[in-house]
Structure 1
Amino acid sequence: MILIADSGSTKTDWVAYGTGAQPLRFQSVGFNPFYQSKEVIAEALRQEVVPQVPAIESVYFYGAGCADETSSQPVRQALQQSFPMAHIEVQSDLLAAARALCGHESGIACILGTGANNCLYNGERIVNNIGSLGFWMGDEGSGGYLGKTLVVRYLHRELPEEIQERFTVAYPGTDRFLVLDNAYKKPFPNRYFATFTRFLSEHITHPYIQQLLIEAFGLFLSKYVIKHPDATAYPVHFAGSVAYYFQDQLTEAVREKGLRMGTIQKSPMEGLLRYHQS
């Protein structure tokens, strides 16, 4: 059987498939070698993945933080330890998005989930990437960025009065000390801040929230997408939960920047499955 993984910082979608068998789908925790060691990843694989699947011949793992051979080593080694008889390939989540969204056509592929990324894809490989600087210095438009922006404005009392009050009710006890503790002392600050996108979704009809989203997506497009050569000549595709749930505001931001909207997929897994089965 073949095992495909699409992994972000928050969760990993897995599909195992073989000839004549229905694909087996399940989820596990997310993996990111920037934040996790080989040992931590291997233990999570042992508990959440290995018991789910029969004998595996090949593993195609696409993940956040797996940009090159060096950065992806903790994931590759953990997979080799977990599936010692399997062929292992580890690629970036960005290539996963490009293959899933564009197939064998040229286009700009973007990820807007807990984190953010982008690339120009020529139908076979990534030919240009305006790299994000990660959660603390980049990731504009991502769930982590959106949540951080919302929380900072709340703590600075910059939200409209009714939104400020609703936030206080939704997240009692959220003060400067709690936020700083989660931001600087606990692991995965990007995950912590991304949880606040639920509040944005629940108040999506409010003009202030809509504008916050459009501005954040516009910043992502300005910093990354429009810098690709001939960016206006290609459709701009998106994968990720943030792109999916806020697609109206994302579409408006794309329109305002004079770009051509492509497709939006909540998860690239179906596209990846088609790509590998072909």
Structure 2
Amino acid sequence: MILIADGGSTKADWIAIDNNKKEIFRERTLGLNPAVVAEEELHNRIIHMFQLINIKDEVTEIHFYGAGCGTPKPIKILKDVLQKIFVNAKIFISEDMLAAVYAASGKEPAVVCILGTGSNSCYFDGENLFMKSPSLGYIIMDEASGNYFGKLLLREYYYNKMPKSIAEKFENEFNLDADYIKENLYRKVNPNMYLATFAKFMFEFKEEKYIKRIIKRGFQEFFKYRVLPFEKDTQTPLYFIGSIAYYFRDILEKVAKKNNLKITNVIQRPIDSLLEYHKNNIN
């Protein structure tokens, strides 16, 4: 049995297939980003999923594509966790950017971007993946991601820059007590995932001019740092992966046009396309 997983910071989607590449089941766990989640918590998030544990001894391969898996140290942490659970499996771990490429363009050259809880981008030439800079995560980078917009909304609210009508709705939606926020940001696991919960507020009020302005500003920053440096024109396909890109596609396309680029496609969840890639390309 083979497991294929697309692991973000918020959630991880798993698909189990047999040796004939027939789908057996799907499962979803909490996010498994080894750069921000402790080893013990990674272990707990996996073993609490019955379907995964029920077949753990039958698994012969795991192909895991994950946020936070771009450098050796977190890769080793996650691989050790998985190996202790799936003792008979060969484990292959790659960063989520590669999953995005496989899901979006397959083997064709393209610029591929992630806009979910976190954000990232690369240029894929059909064989190799190129990134202008490594991602340093939610504190320093992650432009236009869920956690980026969450931070922005919190700042706007606390600095009284948010329109009163929006601020009242924001207050009704979230616990905005300063101590509660700081507890979640500085003492609990997955602060990036916590910040991204505030971004969901934007989905509900996406027609508000204030929200549109914030989104447009974030997307322009993403293009500035994560798309334009590749110096590609409209002849190069441009793909986006993730919920932020999916739910605000209309604004994203306008920002792309402003930068003389055209979006080829936006994919909310890459797991289905990733499965097809594996069926067609991996023996």
| TM-score strictly above 0.5 | yes
Distance 2:222 2:91 in 1: 33
State the percentage of identical aligned residues: 35
State whether residues 118 and 130 of structure 1, in contact with CA within 8 Å, keep that contact through their aligned partners in structure 2.
no
Q: Where do residues 57-96 of structure 1 align in structure 2 (5 Å cutoff)?
A: 57-96=60-99
Partner-residue secondary structure (3-state), 1:275 = helix
The aligned counterpart of 1:200 is: 202
Distance 1:186 1:260 in 2: 40
State whether residues 7 and 31 of structure 2, in contact with CA within 8 Å, keep that contact through their aligned partners in structure 1.
yes
The aligned counterpart of 2:27 is: 26
CA offsets 1:180-212 (integer angstroms, 9 cap, x no match):
332223222111111112211111111111111
TM-score in terms of structure 1 length:
0.94
User: How many equivalent residue pairs?
Assistant: 277
Partner-residue secondary structure (3-state), 1:174 = coil
The aligned counterpart of 2:11 is: 11
Q: Where do residues 47-126 of structure 1 align in structure 2 (5 Å cutoff)?
A: 47-48=48-49, 50-53=52-55, 55-126=58-129
Partner-residue secondary structure (3-state), 1:70 = helix
State whether residues 21 and 279 of structure 2, in contact with CA within 8 Å, keep that contact through their aligned partners in structure 1.
no
Distance 1:50 1:90 in 2: 17
Structure 1 residue 145: Cα displacement: 0.5
State whether residues 108 and 235 of structure 1, in contact with CA within 8 Å, keep that contact through their aligned partners in structure 2.
yes
Distance 1:91 1:135 in 2: 19
- Paired AA for residue 37 in structure 2: Q
Structure 1 residue 103: Cα displacement: 0.4
CA offsets 1:87-115 (integer angstroms, 9 cap, x no match):
11000001110111110100011111111
Distance 1:7 1:112 in 2: 14
The aligned counterpart of 2:262 is: 260
- Paired AA for residue 41 in structure 1: L
Q: Is there any run of 5+ residues in structure 2 with no aligned partner, and where? A: none
Distance 1:87 1:244 in 2: 34
Partner-residue secondary structure (3-state), 2:269 = coil
TM-score in terms of structure 2 length:
0.92
Deviates more, 1:225-234 or 1:107-116: 225-234
Aligned pair 1:246/2:251, yes or no? no
Structure 1 residue 70: Cα displacement: 3.0
Structure 1 residue 131: Cα displacement: 2.9
State whether residues 16 and 53 of structure 1, in contact with CA within 8 Å, keep that contact through their aligned partners in structure 2.
no
Deviates more, 1:3-12 or 1:61-70: 61-70
The aligned counterpart of 1:222 is: 224
The aligned counterpart of 1:40 is: 41
Partner-residue secondary structure (3-state), 1:33 = coil
Distance 2:181 2:44 in 1: 29
1:273–1:136: structure 2 CA closer, same or farther, 3 Å change rule?
same
Partner-residue secondary structure (3-state), 1:134 = coil
State whether residues 102 and 274 of structure 2, in contact with CA within 8 Å, keep that contact through their aligned partners in structure 1.
yes
1:72–1:256: structure 2 CA closer, same or farther, 3 Å change rule?
same
Distance 1:166 1:42 in 2: 37
